[in-house]
Every structure is written in structure tokens, then in C-alpha cells.
Structure 1
Amino acid sequence: MRMVNRRGARRDRREAGTALLFLLPQLFGLVAFICVPLVVSLYYSFTQWDLVAPAPTFIGLENWQYLLTDVRIPTVLWNTAKFILTGTTSFLVFSLIAALVTYRPRRGVAAYRALLFLPYVLSQIAVGIVWRWMLNSESGPINQGIELFGASGPDWLLEPGTAMVAIALVTTWQGIGYGMTLYIAGLNGVPDALPEAARIDGANAWQRFVHVTLPMISPTVLFLMVTSLIGALQLFDPVVAMTTSGGSVATAGGPNDSTRTVVLYMYNQMFNYNERLSGLGYAAAIAWLLALLTFLLTLLQLAFSRRWVFYENERPTPKGGER
């Protein structure tokens, strides 16, 4: 028996060593490209460096103190929140509508899905440039189409009230195919017997969707909510492509800073050496603020998801604690 146990132990060690050998490249990449940059960026947040001096200067908590008093931080946070409220919400809703229309196999539905998914594989910069022309208030086809009905379209990207909404709708248009694909996968996992049983019990189409279909695809909804929120907090390329004037990224974020997001402001401070605490150090502090905000919002989503996300292997606990 001892001989068998020793052989089993040696086999387990060999298997563990082989597994570790295959994991080493991934572990090396994790440490070299994620862990080390995180530690270095945290150190830089306590320094001032304009990338011209030979080395950063340690200044302690000055970057963090200035971050708490910087009057532009609430503005860029609010701009990012506006994008989340418009872009993330519209992405979740319209992707679900597209999935409900196309998840049933029928003639031509594959081509329709491909057309909806195609914008997702395109460059955000290229999409932003094309939509910037389409939303041009003087010669863009969007406003020209509105004028055919006797009305005048707004200055989409030139008015603070509509600029962020326009960017949000463009990002929704580009990402709707991705969300639709995941929703379709979730809808295909709903057993046909459940909606049919609800229909026999007298539930109408809306009741079947709200009380049967939506709870069954709630894990997919949660996944898209978390990932789309993280993506919204990192909004950069569409804003640069649609609001830059004169070919300089420093001019992006208009009009009147109404579309300047946290990441764009971080980029501006990274290469701005005219302020007392601008440069790499202050940009690193902003990056850590964004990371902490992303982490906290993700935790809140996961915490509240326990109230509305249903997993198929979960079963309600009977009264009295018996199972």
C-alpha cells in the first residue's frame, strides 16, 4: 500500500510540474506586463516627472492632494457618467432588442446578424471619423435627412447638450452586434418548455419575457453590464476621433469640455508640462483613481446582482432550512 501511495505522490508531483511548466509563459506575462507596471505606476503617483528630466522627483502625497482639489475632476467624472447613462443603457437595451428579433432561425437571419456585427470589428477611430462627417451640421447626411421633413437638425458635435449623446449613440451602433451575439447565446439556452408552460397558464408575451426569459438570461445581462461599464470608464478613441480639431489630441473633449472623459483628461495631463503638478506623476494618480472607481463599481454590481441574477443550478431553500 505504501508503495502505491508513493507512486501516486510521484505521479501527482510530475503532473503538477508539467502543469506549472505550461503555465510559466502566462505567469511571466502576468508579472511582467501587469503586476510590475501596476507597482511602478503606483510609485510614479508619488513623484513628479515631465519625461524630460533624467529621473522622477519624489513629492509624496502632493499629486493625491491636488487630485482631491482639482476642479476639473468632477467635470470629467460627470462627463463619463453621462456617457454611461446614455451609451451603456442604450447598448444593453438595443442589443437585447436585436437579439430578440434575430435569435429564432429564419430565412435571411444569418445575413442580418452579420450586418449588425460588422461594425464591431471596425476601428473605433475610423468609425468616429465617418460618423463625425455624417453628423456634420452643414453637410452631413443626418441633418440633410432631417431637413427633408421640414425640420432643422442640431449641431450634434458642436453643442454641449448633444455632443456626448451623439458619441454614446455611435458607440452603441458599433457595439450592438457584440451584445446581440451574447444575448442570442443566452436566449438559446432558455428551455422552450418554460415559456410554453407560462403561456398555457395564461401569461401574455410581456409577462413571459419579464418573468421567464429575462431571469433565465440574467447572467448574460450581468456580464454585459459589468464589461460595458468598464469599457465606458475607459472611453477615449471615439471622443478623440469625433471632437479633435486641428489634428491635435489636446483639442479633443469639446465643446466646452463637455466630452472630456477621465481617460482623455489623464492623457492631457500626461503630456502637459505647463502646470505645477502635470506630467507622468499626476497622470498616474488619475489612473489609480480610475482603477479604484472601476473596482468599486464592479463590486457594487456584483453585490446587487445577488438579488436579480438567477443561475440554473440554484434551487430555492424550503422553509425551515431543509434541502
Structure 2
Amino acid sequence: MSKLRRREALTGLAFVAPVVVGLVVFMAVPLVVSLGYSFTHWNFIAPAPTFVGLDNWIALFNDPRIPIVIWNTVKFILFGTTSFLLFSLLAALLTFIPRRFVGAYRAALFLPYVLSQIAVGIVWRWMFNSQTGPLTLGVELLGIPSPDWLLDPNTAMISIALVTTWQGIGYGMTLYIAGLNSVPEPLIEAARIDGAGPIRRFWSIILPLISPTVFFLLVTSMIGALQLFDPVVAMTSSSAGVSSAGGPSNSTRTIVLYMYNQMFNYNERISGIGYAAAIAWMLAILTFAITAIQFLLGRRFVYYEALVAPTRSERRRAKKRMEALR
């Protein structure tokens, strides 16, 4: 290796080293340590953890509350992730075309995204108040009986999902607008000349071309939904603190909230940092599995052809199709 090449390699390593060290210290080491803790029992009172083998994992699979918190998380994904993707796309379509004050509209929609989730949750908790909340009073003025937004197990998680959607619309809108800007105008114009209406142009041209943006938002919002914590704590906890969050009747207790409860709950035989670490690893495996499935399905529904060169297998399949046509 020449002296210049060696100097370039050392320079590159010097720039990469801080990131690598940060990943090892703040991610790799905690992951290994938490995996080790999942085989121990420790309530922070004993001087050291006690090795218990697979007891935490056996208790995890036998815990009747695990299916409940998983289902609560699934409900949030069904309402929150779906509404986030749809309303963000709608906001992008409405603000995509340059017009007067469109920048102000975009800024107003993006502003909630930069606010603290705890602060947003506290404000919306007041708005959802079943006695004096503005939403309750507004619905009653229309002559419609107002639901007990956060006090009814049937509507509590939906209310939280709507709040997170409201806060994230600006972020999704911004990425959708970037995707819409990448759609070639000649394709839209050609479809318009051929007689395709707005709906046909959207489904046949625009949506396939912005599918990478949709896929990115789907994956990241799904990961965020699996880690839901702050809005639930802000909107459902009482004066007793975080331990009281997740109501009513455990209808909003998510996986991360249950993990937090178990980490600082020493009233049960198996609770503590060891059982919480087992729950954390279950969540990590679940997140990895869902993301892997999304990437597998994304190969069939996400249109990358205009963005990246075809792979060897794609070229081989295209060649076979051409030979068949001959």
C-alpha cells in the first residue's frame, strides 16, 4: 500500500472511529449486558444479581398480561399508524401545489412535531376531559352525546392514536412532499393527455413513484408504535405517577410501559430488571421480525426501478421475459 493510500485510510478511520466507538459503548455493550440480565433476578436492593437461568423467559411466555399489552400495541398500530400515513398524505396533496400562504400552512402543520410528547399529552388530556374539556363541550353543542374519551376502554387507545397522528402529520407531510417533487411531470402530463383522471393518475403513476416514501414512513412509524410510552403516561397517569398509567382497565398499557412497570415493581416474585430485560428482548425480536416481513413484502409493492439499477436476478428475469416474447 502506498503512503498516500495509507494516509487516506487512516484519515477515513479517524472520521469513522467516534461513530464506531459510540455504537459499541452505547448500543453493543448495553445490548449484551441486558441479555445477560435477562437470565438473572435483581431488584436493585440485593448487592448483586442472582442467576436464575430461563426463569424470566418461562415467566414471560406464561404471563397472562403479555397478550393484553401486545394487543393494546396492535390496536394503536391499527388506528395510529394507519391514520398517520393517510392524513399525512392528504396534507401533502393539499399543500403540494404552490399557492398563497402555503408555506404558513405547512409550518402550522409541522409545528406540533417539534413539541414535547409529554407537553402535548398533558394539553390533550385536558381537551379530552369528559366534564369540561373543549372537545366534550363541542360535541355536546352539536347535540351528540360525547364519549368518555380517556375513561372508556373502547375509546382510550383510539384517542391516544389520534393525538399522536395530529402531532406527526407535519413530519409525514414533509417527506411526502419530497416524494411528490420527485415524480416526473412529463408522466403526469402524458397521462392527462391520454384522458386519465386525477384518481387514475394518482393510483397508477403518483402512488407507485412515491411508494419508497410510503414504505419508509410505514417502517419507521411501526417501530415508533411498538415503543409507545410518553403519550400513554401523559394522558392516562394519575397523581400516583407512571405506575398508574395504562388505564382504564389496562386498555392502554403498552409493551414498553409494562416493561417499565416490571423493572421498578418488586411486589412480584419474578419482577425486576431481569424480567424487564426479557421483555425488552422480546420487543426487540418482535420489532426485527415485523421489520423483516415489511422488507420482504416491500420487494413486491415498492417501486425502486426508477431510483436504483436493477439487480442481477432482476436482469436475468427481464432477459427471460424478452426471450419468451421472441
Q: TM-score range by the shorter chain?
A: over 0.9
1:183 partnered with 2:176: yes
Structure 2 distance, partners of 1:169, 1:84, is 11
| Alpha-carbon shift at residue 104 of structure 1 (Å) | 1.3
Query: For 1:189 and 1:88, how far apart are their aligned partners in 2?
Result: 24
Q: In the alignment, what sits opposite 1:320?
A: 320
Task: Report deviation, 1:204.
Answer: 1.0
**Which residue among 216, 224, 231 is the counterpart of 1:238?**
231
Give the counterpart letter for 1:191 in structure 2: P
Write the letter of the residue equivalent to 1:52.
Answer: I
Q: Distance in 1 between matches of 2:321 and 2:199?
A: 34
Structure 2: unaligned runs, 5 residues or longer: none
Q: Partner residue of 1:225?
A: 218
Q: What is the deviation of 1:320? A: 2.5
Q: Which moved more, 1:246-255 or 1:106-115?
A: 246-255
**Selected match of 1:155 from 128, 131, 148:** 148
Question: How many equivalent residue pairs?
Answer: 316
Q: Deviations over 1:120-154 (max 9, x none)?
A: 00000000000000000100000101111111210
- Look up the equivalent residue of 2:132 and give its one-letter code: S
Alpha-carbon distance between aligned partners in 2 of 1:292 and 1:267, rounded to the nearest angstrom: 18
Choose from 39, 61, 64 the match for 2:32: 39
- TM-score, normalized by length of structure 2? 0.95
Aligned twin of 2:130: 137
2: CA distance, partners of 1:231 / 1:150: 37
Aligned to 2:166: 173
SS of residue matched to 2:46: coil
Matched AA of 2:23: L
Give the root-mean-square deviation of aligned CA atoms: 1.3
Counterpart AA for 1:205: P
Structure-1 separation of matches of 2:114 and 2:242? 24
Per-residue Cα deviation, 1:232-283 (whole angstroms, up to 9, x for no partner): 0000000000000124110000000000000000000000001111000000
Q: In the alignment, which residue of structure 2 is the partner of 1:75?
A: 68
Aligned amino acid, residue 32 of structure 1: V
- The match for 2:48 among 48, 51, 55 is 55
Looking at structure 2, the residues matched to 220 and 51 of structure 1 have their Cα atoms a distance apart, in angstroms, of: 44
Which of 273, 276, 281 is the matching residue for 2:274? 281
Question: What is the CA-CA distance between 1:199 and the residue it aligns to?
Answer: 1.4
CA distance in 2, matches of 1:216, 1:127: 34
Q: 3-state DSSP class of the match of 1:160?
A: coil
Q: Distance in 1 between matches of 2:239 and 2:228?
A: 21
Residue of structure 2 aligned with 1:21, choices 8, 14, 29:
14
Name the residue aligned to 1:96: 89
Q: Secondary structure at the match of 2:301?
A: coil
- Cα distance, 1:247–1:276 mapped onto 2, change above 3 Å: closer
Aligned partner of 1:123 in structure 2 is: 116
Identical-pair percentage: 67
What are the superposed Cα offsets for residues 281-312 of structure 1, whole Å, 9 maximum, x if unpaired? 00000000000000000000000001111111
SS of 1:260's equivalent in the other structure is: coil
Q: Which AA in structure 2 matches 1:202?
A: G
Give the residue type in structure 1 aligned to 2:320: G
In the aligned structure 2, how far is the partner of 1:320 from the partner of 1:142? 61
Q: Give the distance between the partners of 1:288 and 1:160, measured in 2 at CA.
A: 28
Q: 4+ residue runs of structure 1 moved beyond 6 angstroms? A: none
Letter in 2 for 1:120: Y
Which residue number in structure 1 is paired with residue 100 of structure 2? 107
Q: Distance in 2 between matches of 1:319 and 1:283?
A: 53
Instruction: Tell me the CA shift for residue 319 of structure 1.
Output: 5.3
Question: Residue 259 in 1 paired to residue 252 in 2?
Answer: yes
Distance (Å, rounded) in 2 between the aligned partners of 1:320 and 1:115: 52
Per the normalisation by structure 1, the TM-score is 0.95
Q: 1:206 aligns with which of 190, 199, 202?
A: 199
What residue identity is the alignment partner of 1:146? V
1:102 maps to a residue whose letter is T
Looking at structure 1, the residues matched to 131 and 321 of structure 2 have their Cα atoms a distance apart, in angstroms, of 68
Instruction: Give how far 1:18 is off.
Output: 1.1
